[in-house]
Chain A
């Protein structure tokens, strides 16, 4: 190592995790050896070493140039709908502020036109004030009014919102319901800015494999040389009607096992077999050899310690080999080959060892042509023990079949389609034999391409194209990808919540449709429209028009649409509007054969459509990253295809079913919380500053403040900040269980309902009316400035302001209390604590002559205020009057036009009440009633949520009787 002299040349830092190009020039005894460096030789920051004691490495990128750091930076800023409406409200308030300032300034000058108001004998100006320019005075007055009223703009709102989002997002990570025990993963929040957006979704785009499915592949079927086999209990069985007799159906297996005397294989039971049909055997042999050689699966050495298992490692059988693979399909295939008898044992140095029915064969691994999503295939070039050089290729049927020149292409294609109809994932396997001349050329070109520093990818692609041709088809495999738990229920719930679900997948049309049907995305009752295999613009347009006609003509409630990638790009290029119209009317859309960027493009199109719906994208793989980043909210599934999606997402969860809790419970709560928070902040600042404005009418617009400067500062910081923050963290206006079990409640808050201009106006008007009540209540209380004290002494202007302020702090805090539906001890503490704090602070602040303050305006003001009986009565009166109107509105709303959320609240409340009722009973009676009521509750639940509960009711009654008999 010490003597190693080498130079590494590499590209400039870039964010793409899976792209790296460089070369290493090693100088050894005056000779330069050039070695290519690719992404496989690059360890990303945070990578961990496994199965290897030590390695030597060179740091290539450091600090902010590492790929990880570049990726963090490149994340685009997402802003939620709430934030946008917040900014709109802010502009409205800015207008209010400026117009108030302008009105005040103008009125000041009309008022001051007369000298007896401007400069009475008791209030003379200084020479300087008299001589200052009129325009300057006008501007300075305007600015002074701006300063006086600027508290109407809730600056602290932004701080509080940030705090709420940051702290609130912890609840998602903490949620046990979002914790997946098997993989020990809890939900992750990467962007807390979007919490409330989870409650606003209208479109949900989901990837299929790994997201809807487990991404846990199981080998199911294969087609070899035009014959279809099925794996049943670990045996391959010929399937379907074949021209040959039933006996012959097992030929292959027999022929395979005739060499095998060990009990190692499951197929070993078929030991006796005629030694014939050797040709067939070679084909089949080759197929499985191809399967077990053409991959990048690794063998685990550490099979004995067995603890630190990666999530997708499994043991074939005790004391058997364990495979690791970056792609679960490959693992399933290699395992299947092993079950059949061709066991991949491992690769040491440059050889791959395969045990064919117990007999060890070594293949020299010459080249790996890695998988990429453009080619959609991978291949390996190996040197067989016999010395011949063979290429094995494996890939999607669309990428292999066109390249094939031999083999049972027609039959295999039929079989592949059949597999796809069952929702299986298919791969085709082919091979090619090279002559040594051919191979030498390939070798040379490959090396050139791999060491090229410029345009390496293009060059590689060219070489791959050159190598992977003239293939002979061996067969096809079919692997099942099991649906995840509760996908059907989740999708159904999403639909009930008014969210349109789009499945975007790279799979074949047939596979995609069958999976869609099985996961409940498509219903049997749905009218399924298809837009596939469109080759030209005109054709596509015609088809689109036909579809839109069908939508209006067919009397079916729900439509589903199937589009494939090519047709989609056609439709989007020319007929975007027509296509979007159709899509918006479909309750389920399935896009198959989608390239990653196409996924993102679809989302962008929906996003910018006239209604500007809020979108969410769920995906698990690197190919979903672009769509996750494009959507308003990106959710990553922490699955088997690496963590790239999870890293680039805003939220990462372990399972698709967790979406229902994430959206219906967390999303709903966050939305309610933040919407009320925003409205309340605007409200409380209107309340705060409007009395100042009104006071100007009584003090000749002289910019006299109504409140002391300390109160002005502390109002938003101390006196009214905590209750709303606590509310925005803890509020649960309805039981989370009901939210989750009744997804339709989600519709109540859709379209940013709580931040609509109507609601905003209500809060603003409420704020203004409360301000009027505070101010004029205090004004009329003073009346002709009669004494309010029992000793006949008089109050002054600061007492007046403090009275208004006191009423305001109490009212605003109690208003928050009215909004709160969920009173934990923390809420009680901060709500009542805030009011108490205000009183204690004021007593303290007014009780001392503060040496560092210039004016002692507030000295003993508060204590004098509280020593007046009338003031107490006035405070109670004003607070009650303010809230009275609001309560009346709330009650009328609840009874006249209840939202479904409110109905659900009522319902849950009655249940809770009846439980309390039980608690009050003596124990002996309570036990009886408890059982009765718990049964009754069940009935209520069922009758409330499902239309047909009659039979259940009867059953319950029966149950009830039985219970009594037992007693």
Chain B
């Protein structure tokens, strides 16, 4: 056995800033002296921003119309009562007339709004198969189990697109007509139905299955459409770039909403004479009334809105900024008073010492 000799100071800890907890550090202190100017600055900035946001939101026009047809308020009530208790209801058309006293500045966006419709219900929200929607052939034949009870049709064929979301695709359609001279004929306003879905959804996330012999119909051979649909998915549109899983209405619908009252983009109005907006005059919206909402107490609305950089008409942000900004300044003043009063007291204390 050897007796190890340890050098003197062998156990001495390292004298570094880290081990001695002496790292250079910034040591801020939340005192009134620092926070007061901060509060006033932040308050003023917020009020300024709030005013800006408020006016920006106020500049946005919105025109909405409830066409549920509840109490015989509109001619859609005929359709509503007709469709009562039957799903799907028969094709029924109604119209909404409105007139603009001045130009409705463009670009104008056409939305539909549903209320009391729980797209965020968990059972509903998971009832889809993203693999199938991405064009995977195996998933087309074998839809995910989450799709049940919309997984296989009564005859045992796989449903494409499967699931509750796809099955409940919104199927009302709208067309807009403009009566340019007073009492003249109605001219159809072109609705741009492209680019209403997210670019990535339309171009990447949703893909049709590979064509069979150049035909989309053959690709979907051996599948059944969702039970509520009147036509198969490959006939949603005649445009090959807008049919099947990449139909824009379908893609828009498949992005489930966060809250039970939601809007979805239907079309943009930006073509021809209407690129600057809707000129003054009388308009008619032809509505194909298919979608039943009264069974769950829902409402259907149609909305024209224009858009700023911050989106649609949203007074909340502006008001919230104003409120928080004024609170900042108010509390800043309170704090100033407290600060001055207690400053004196502190000085007195020090003098006493």
Q: Judge: A and B partners, yes or no.
A: yes
Q: Which of A121, A791, A792, A797 is packed against the most chain B CB atoms within 10 Å?
A: A792
Q: Of A121, A700, A868, which is within 8 A of B295 by CB?
A: A121
When the two chains form their complex, are residues A888 and B27 in contact, meaning their CB atoms are under 8 A apart? no
Cα distance A674–B119 in the bound complex, in angstroms: 44
Q: Given the interface contacts A116-B296, A780-B316, does A127 sit within 8 Å of B12 by beta carbon?
A: no
When the two chains form their complex, are residues B11 and A792 in contact, meaning their CB atoms are under 8 A apart? no
When the two chains form their complex, are residues A703 and B122 in contact, meaning their CB atoms are under 8 A apart? yes
Q: Of A797, A856, A912, which is within 8 A of B119 by CB?
A: A797
Residues from chain A with Cβ under 8 Å of B107 in the complex: 792
Q: Of B3, B12, B316, which is within 8 A of A308 by CB?
A: B3
Cα distance A859–B308 in the bound complex, in angstroms: 25
Task: Of the listed stretches B208-216, B234-242, B319-327, name the one at the interface; the rest are far from the partner chain.
Answer: B319-327
Residues from chain B with Cβ under 8 Å of A126 in the complex: 148-149
When the two chains form their complex, are residues A873 and B53 in contact, meaning their CB atoms are under 8 A apart? yes
Q: Which of A122, A126, A827, A894 is packed against the most chain B CB atoms within 10 Å?
A: A122
Q: Given the interface contacts A122-B164, A125-B149, A894-B31, does A704 sit within 8 Å of B353 by beta carbon?
A: no
When the two chains form their complex, are residues A824 and B25 in contact, meaning their CB atoms are under 8 A apart? yes
8 Å CB interface, A124-181 against B: 124-127, 170-171, 173-176, 179, 181
When the two chains form their complex, are residues B311 and A896 in contact, meaning their CB atoms are under 8 A apart? no
Residues from chain A with Cβ under 8 Å of B257 in the complex: 785, 794, 796-797
When the two chains form their complex, are residues A704 and B30 in contact, meaning their CB atoms are under 8 A apart? no
Q: Does A117 contact B (CB under 8 A)?
A: yes
8 Å CB interface, B156-173 against A: 164, 167-168
Q: Does B101 contact A (CB under 8 A)?
A: no
Q: In whole Å, how far is B208's beta carbon from the nearest beta carbon of chain A?
A: 16
When the two chains form their complex, are residues B19 and A906 in contact, meaning their CB atoms are under 8 A apart? no
Q: Does A366 contact B (CB under 8 A)?
A: no
When the two chains form their complex, are residues A856 and B205 in contact, meaning their CB atoms are under 8 A apart? yes
8 Å CB interface, A320-354 against B: none
Q: Does B29 contact A (CB under 8 A)?
A: yes
8 Å CB interface, A852-902 against B: 854-856, 859-860, 864, 868-870, 873-874, 877, 880-881, 884, 887-888, 890-892, 894-896
**New contact pairs (20) apart from A787-B265, A797-B257, CB-CB < 8 Å:** A49-B3, A121-B168, A124-B150, A171-B21, A785-B113, A790-B309, A792-B107, A793-B196, A793-B265, A796-B255, A797-B120, A823-B26, A823-B28, A849-B204, A859-B200, A859-B204, A869-B311, A887-B35, A895-B339, A912-B27
| Cross-chain pairs A/B with CB under 8 angstroms, 24 sampled | A122-B124, A123-B118, A127-B149, A175-B19, A184-B12, A186-B11, A308-B5, A698-B258, A698-B259, A704-B125, A785-B113, A786-B314, A789-B311, A792-B196, A797-B119, A859-B200, A868-B311, A880-B42, A887-B35, A892-B335, A894-B30, A894-B31, A895-B32, A896-B342
Residues from chain B with Cβ under 8 Å of A947 in the complex: 353
Q: Of B9, B42, B49, which is within 8 A of A181 by CB?
A: B9
| Minimum CB distance partner of B254 in chain A | A796
When the two chains form their complex, are residues B21 and A887 in contact, meaning their CB atoms are under 8 A apart? no
Q: Does A781 contact B (CB under 8 A)?
A: yes
B294-310 vs A, Cβ < 8 Å mask (1 yes, 0 no): 01110000000101111
Residues from chain B with Cβ under 8 Å of A791 in the complex: 195, 307
Cα distance A881–B325 in the bound complex, in angstroms: 10
Residues from chain B with Cβ under 8 Å of A396 in the complex: none
Residues from chain A with Cβ under 8 Å of B167 in the complex: 122
Q: Of B12, B121, B317, which is within 8 A of A700 by CB?
A: B121
Q: Does B40 contact A (CB under 8 A)?
A: no
Q: In whole Å, how far is A893's beta carbon from the nearest beta carbon of chain B?
A: 10
When the two chains form their complex, are residues A179 and B12 in contact, meaning their CB atoms are under 8 A apart? yes
Q: Does A272 contact B (CB under 8 A)?
A: no
When the two chains form their complex, are residues A123 and B3 in contact, meaning their CB atoms are under 8 A apart? no
Cα distance A126–B196 in the bound complex, in angstroms: 33
Q: Does A800 contact B (CB under 8 A)?
A: yes
Q: Of B26, B31, B144, B252, which is within 8 A of A891 by CB?
A: B31
When the two chains form their complex, are residues A50 and B3 in contact, meaning their CB atoms are under 8 A apart? yes
B238-277 vs A, Cβ < 8 Å mask (1 yes, 0 no): 0000000000000010011111111111001000000000
When the two chains form their complex, are residues B353 and A171 in contact, meaning their CB atoms are under 8 A apart? no
Cα distance A780–B319 in the bound complex, in angstroms: 11
By DSSP majority rule, is chain B's interface helix, strand, loop, or mixed?
loop
Q: Of A777, A790, A821, A888, which is within 8 A of B29 by CB?
A: A821
Q: Does B312 contact A (CB under 8 A)?
A: yes
8 Å CB interface, A769-785 against B: 777, 779-785
When the two chains form their complex, are residues A788 and B314 in contact, meaning their CB atoms are under 8 A apart? yes
| Minimum CB distance partner of A801 in chain B | B258
Residues from chain B with Cβ under 8 Å of A170 in the complex: 19
Task: Of the listed stretches B90-98, B126-134, B177-185, name the one at the interface; the rest are far from the partner chain.
Answer: B126-134
Q: Does B65 contact A (CB under 8 A)?
A: no
Q: Does B10 contact A (CB under 8 A)?
A: yes
8 Å CB interface, A795-826 against B: 795-797, 799-801, 818, 821-826
Q: In whole Å, how far is B317's beta carbon from the nearest beta carbon of chain A?
A: 6
Residues from chain B with Cβ under 8 Å of A385 in the complex: none
8 Å CB interface, A210-263 against B: none
| Minimum CB distance partner of A188 in chain B | B11
Q: In whole Å, how far is A861's beta carbon from the nearest beta carbon of chain B?
A: 10
Q: Does A185 contact B (CB under 8 A)?
A: yes
The 7 closest A-B pairs by CB, nearest first: A786-B312, A122-B168, A800-B258, A174-B19, A702-B122, A797-B258, A788-B311
Cα distance A823–B26 in the bound complex, in angstroms: 5
Q: In whole Å, how far is B174's beta carbon from the nearest beta carbon of chain A?
A: 16
What is the number of residues of chain B that contact chain A, defined by CB distance less than 8 Å? Answer: 104
When the two chains form their complex, are residues B258 and A796 in contact, meaning their CB atoms are under 8 A apart? yes
> Inter-chain contact count A-B, CB under 8 Å?
283
When the two chains form their complex, are residues B311 and A870 in contact, meaning their CB atoms are under 8 A apart? yes
Cα distance A794–B259 in the bound complex, in angstroms: 12
Q: Of B9, B265, B331, which is within 8 A of A794 by CB?
A: B265
State which size class the interface on A falls in. Answer: 35 or more
Q: In whole Å, how far is B193's beta carbon from the nearest beta carbon of chain A?
A: 13
| Minimum CB distance partner of A666 in chain B | B21
Q: Does B138 contact A (CB under 8 A)?
A: no
Residues from chain A with Cβ under 8 Å of B263 in the complex: 784-787, 794
Cα distance A127–B148 in the bound complex, in angstroms: 10
Q: Does B14 contact A (CB under 8 A)?
A: yes
Q: Does A277 contact B (CB under 8 A)?
A: no
| Minimum CB distance partner of A705 in chain B | B122
Q: Does B123 contact A (CB under 8 A)?
A: yes
Cα distance A782–B118 in the bound complex, in angstroms: 16
When the two chains form their complex, are residues A700 and B87 in contact, meaning their CB atoms are under 8 A apart? no
When the two chains form their complex, are residues A176 and B15 in contact, meaning their CB atoms are under 8 A apart? yes
When the two chains form their complex, are residues A785 and B353 in contact, meaning their CB atoms are under 8 A apart? no
Cα distance A795–B19 in the bound complex, in angstroms: 50
Cα distance A199–B121 in the bound complex, in angstroms: 51
Q: Does A730 contact B (CB under 8 A)?
A: yes
When the two chains form their complex, are residues B9 and A184 in contact, meaning their CB atoms are under 8 A apart? yes
Residues from chain B with Cβ under 8 Å of A720 in the complex: none
Q: Does B141 contact A (CB under 8 A)?
A: no
B16-51 vs A, Cβ < 8 Å mask (1 yes, 0 no): 000111011111111110010000001000100100
Q: Given the interface contacts A184-B11, A785-B259, A795-B258, does A869 sit within 8 Å of B310 by beta carbon?
A: yes
Residues from chain A with Cβ under 8 Å of B258 in the complex: 698, 782, 785, 795-797, 799-801
When the two chains form their complex, are residues B338 and A892 in contact, meaning their CB atoms are under 8 A apart? yes
Q: In whole Å, how far is A622's beta carbon from the nearest beta carbon of chain B?
A: 23
Residues from chain A with Cβ under 8 Å of B67 in the complex: none
Cα distance A796–B87 in the bound complex, in angstroms: 26
Cα distance A185–B353 in the bound complex, in angstroms: 42
When the two chains form their complex, are residues A698 and B260 in contact, meaning their CB atoms are under 8 A apart? yes
Q: Does A596 contact B (CB under 8 A)?
A: no
Q: Given the interface contacts A179-B13, A308-B3, A797-B256, does A792 sit within 8 Å of B307 by beta carbon?
A: yes
Q: Of A122, A698, A779, A869, which is within 8 A of B117 by CB?
A: A122
When the two chains form their complex, are residues A891 and B30 in contact, meaning their CB atoms are under 8 A apart? yes
Cα distance A790–B305 in the bound complex, in angstroms: 12
| Minimum CB distance partner of A853 in chain B | B130
Residues from chain B with Cβ under 8 Å of A732 in the complex: 21, 25, 27
Q: Of B5, B20, B259, which is within 8 A of A176 by CB?
A: B20
When the two chains form their complex, are residues B311 and A699 in contact, meaning their CB atoms are under 8 A apart? no
